Structure 1
Amino acid sequence: MVAIDAKGEKSHAKNLFGWLSGATGPLIGLIALCLFLSVMSDSFLSLRNGLNILDQITVLGIMAVGMTFVILIGGIDLSVGSVLALSMMIMGWTANVMGLPMAIAIPIALIASAISGFAVGVMVTHFRVPAFIATLAMMSVARGVANMITDGQQIVGFPDWFMMLAIDRHFGVLTATVFVMLAVVLVSWIFLKFRAEGRMLYAVGGNPEVARLAGINVLRVTIAVYVACAVLAGLAGIVLAARLDSVQPSSGLGYELDTIAAVVIGGTSLSGGAGGIGGTLIGVLIIGVLRNGLNLLNVSPFLQQVIIGVVIVVAVGAETLRRRPR
């Protein structure tokens, strides 16, 4: 009877934390980090600071969801920062230069992002270009096109309602941009957890040949994943434009590194086939909380880069040790 109860409790705990997809370690790390910063800074645990952290991670959170899809299939995408800039510039140019309404400019920007992702997917699948090289090339192309649109100049000034998406706090708590991030996270989690198409990503990342023999169209799944990642990068660019009330071709520099870091810290394996959205959200929060806390403690931005780099190495090392066969 005792053994049955123990098994039942273990099963309940597994179901309770199953959404984390193996990211209980990063969750413990996030809690420990919050406890440490709450002791070191009186303002860290304030509601205002918590809301600021949520506002600051919206762009990273949206991009990290797309990167999770890519890494789950064993790929990588170095072009997300440049695609973000491309989306911003196309939206700004079509709205402020061509005079099209934002309701048209935003979809055009997302379509351009999708085309970028489709091009990467085709290079990876049909031309057998390694994902690292294909996305590195797209990083250069997208950044170049973003600069060509306005000859490297920024575009300033959008409708008031667009800017207020990142300012107005609905119910006195969350901005519309935070709601967008949470919606992306929720829909993506449901897709991976309960949809057959979502489970295909794990199969492809685990073993593409076995997935093919099981009837999964690996080429189609791969292309769709890179398109989804690019579209989410474009959406993140639109969110960033709302926060800044401007667009510039230099936006998103280095964002690809933060995005990959968030996914890896959250427990998604770089070799593919293991991980999930819950872990990625924790990884995003760790980076957001860490940066916020270091700013509150007046730590040098240069030292912040060193600290975040060490955190990434420790997280990847811990994940490698955890998955090592015993």
Structure 2
Amino acid sequence: MTTLTNNASASTPALPATPLSRRITAKVIELGLLPILLVAMLVVFATVEPRFLSAQNLTNVGRQSVYLLLVTLGQMIVLLCAQLDLSVGSTIALTSVITALALSAEVPPVLAVLAGLGVGLVVGLVNGLVVAFWHVPSFMVTLGTTSLATGAALLLSNGAPVTGVPLSFSAFLGTGSLGGIPVPVIIAVLVALAVYGILYWTNFGRNIFAIGGNELAATVAGIRVKAVLVAAFVVCSVLTSLAGVLLTARVASGEATLGGSFVLLSIAAAVLGGTSLFGGEGRIGLVVLGVIFIGVLNNGMNLLQISSYIQQLVLGAVLISAVALDRLRARMG
């Protein structure tokens, strides 16, 4: 009997192995072309422009990427819920003006920072409550808050930069370093680690993925969908306001025009990093790579003195490519 069983097992044909090309293609679809493109871009810029790999320039890339990273992490959380926040640019502007006004009035820096973060709290609450309880599409709600926040920033600043930011504030949060590492970079790394922990090690994070994957199923499972949506928008806006505070320290003034480019760039960086526009899918590691990709691309084009008009064309092409890749991932999935 044993002999027959062994013979039968020996005669069973083995399942054909997945072709290497198919496995590579599946991995590329999963991770995207981002890591390959980033390495290729680094090689090209380093070859064409010797200054690119200098310590000073790499530090500059790190500083410039911090603000986009903070906004993109917030945008990622909202995208994971299958929503969108178009108000991040105006939130940065209003945060900058409020923070600078508080500092110019000799309010203690800690309270001024809290006032700036309070802008994000209010904007996030408005966005989240209207989306969650009134069921208004998020792009319409955040478009409205964009207009409100921009108008408030212009009204409070009279359309001019708000000066009077203490040098100590700018020297620490804007250009300061600890152990040779820029303070904004340290803050961004800590925030990224905190967001990672929230998304992957807490019920709140798991609920975000569940809502983005299937909101109806999440509701049936007992998840408080409305509360999670409100919290997601609040976290996004508060992280955006943190970027606004750091930018205010960087430019040493409050600017009502600050942050206009962050809307499209944050969406592009998140989607480039594999965050789905349809919710429920995203990884922080790849999102960080998406931010670095855009930072390196901007820096390299600036070093090569490429026209700002051409840079806009390139960034537009990057955004379209990111959306196309997201659609391809959705179909393959």
Which residue of the partner structure matches residue 76 of structure 2? 68
Which is further off, 183-192 or 265-274?
A: 183-192
Structure 1 residue 90 corresponds to structure 2 residue 98: yes
| Counterpart code for 2:178 | H
Report sequence identity in percent. Answer: 36
**CA deviation string 1:58-93 (max 9, x = no partner):** 111111100000001000000001011111111111
Which residue of the partner structure matches residue 192 of structure 1? 199
Q: CA deviation at 1:288?
A: 0.3
Which residue of the partner structure matches residue 57 of structure 1? 65
Q: In structure 1, how many angstroms separate the alpha carbons of the residues matched to 2:175 and 2:102? A: 23
Which residue of the partner structure matches residue 30 of structure 1? 38
Q: In structure 2, how many angstroms separate the alpha carbons of the residues matched to 1:175 and 1:118? A: 31
Larger Rg: 2
Alignment of 1:99-110 (within 5 A): 99-110=106-117
Q: In structure 2, how many angstroms separate the alpha carbons of the residues matched to 1:269 and 1:141? A: 28
Which residue of the partner structure matches residue 261 of structure 1? 268
Contact persistence 1:265–1:280 (CA under 8 A): yes
Could you state the TM-score of these two structures normalised by the residue count of structure 1? 0.90
Q: In structure 2, how many angstroms separate the alpha carbons of the residues matched to 1:187 and 1:77? A: 21
Aligned to 1:70, what secondary structure does the other structure show? Answer: helix
Which residue of the partner structure matches residue 156 of structure 2? 149
Alignment of 1:173-188 (within 5 A): 174-188=181-195
| Counterpart code for 1:78 | L
RMSD (CA atoms): 2.1
Which residue of the partner structure matches residue 123 of structure 1? 130
Could you state the TM-score of these two structures normalised by the residue count of structure 2? 0.88
Aligned to 2:100, what secondary structure does the other structure show? Answer: helix
| Counterpart code for 2:85 | D
Contact persistence 1:88–1:241 (CA under 8 A): yes
Alignment of 1:266-281 (within 5 A): 266-281=273-288
Contact persistence 1:23–1:278 (CA under 8 A): no
Aligned to 2:271, what secondary structure does the other structure show? Answer: helix
Q: In structure 1, how many angstroms separate the alpha carbons of the residues matched to 2:329 and 2:167? A: 49
Contact persistence 1:262–1:283 (CA under 8 A): yes
Q: In structure 1, how many angstroms separate the alpha carbons of the residues matched to 2:130 and 2:258? A: 25
Q: In structure 2, how many angstroms separate the alpha carbons of the residues matched to 1:22 and 1:218? A: 28
CA distance change for structure 1 residues 193 and 22 in 2, over 3 Å: closer, same or farther?
farther
Q: In structure 1, how many angstroms separate the alpha carbons of the residues matched to 2:62 and 2:31? A: 20
- List structure 1 runs of 4+ shifted beyond 6 angstroms: none
Which is further off, 190-199 or 123-132?
A: 190-199
Aligned to 1:246, what secondary structure does the other structure show? Answer: coil
Contact persistence 2:103–2:164 (CA under 8 A): no
Q: Which runs of no fewer than 5 residues in structure 2 stay unpaired?
A: 1-13, 18-26
Q: Which runs of no fewer than 5 residues in structure 1 stay unpaired?
A: 7-17
**CA deviation string 1:264-294 (max 9, x = no partner):** 1111000001012212111100100001111
How many residues align structurally? 309
Q: In structure 2, how many angstroms separate the alpha carbons of the residues matched to 1:301 and 1:120? A: 33
Contact persistence 1:79–1:139 (CA under 8 A): yes
| Counterpart code for 1:101 | P
Alignment of 1:287-326 (within 5 A): 287-325=294-332
Q: In structure 1, how many angstroms separate the alpha carbons of the residues matched to 2:119 and 2:51? A: 42
Q: In structure 2, how many angstroms separate the alpha carbons of the residues matched to 1:40 and 1:79? A: 37
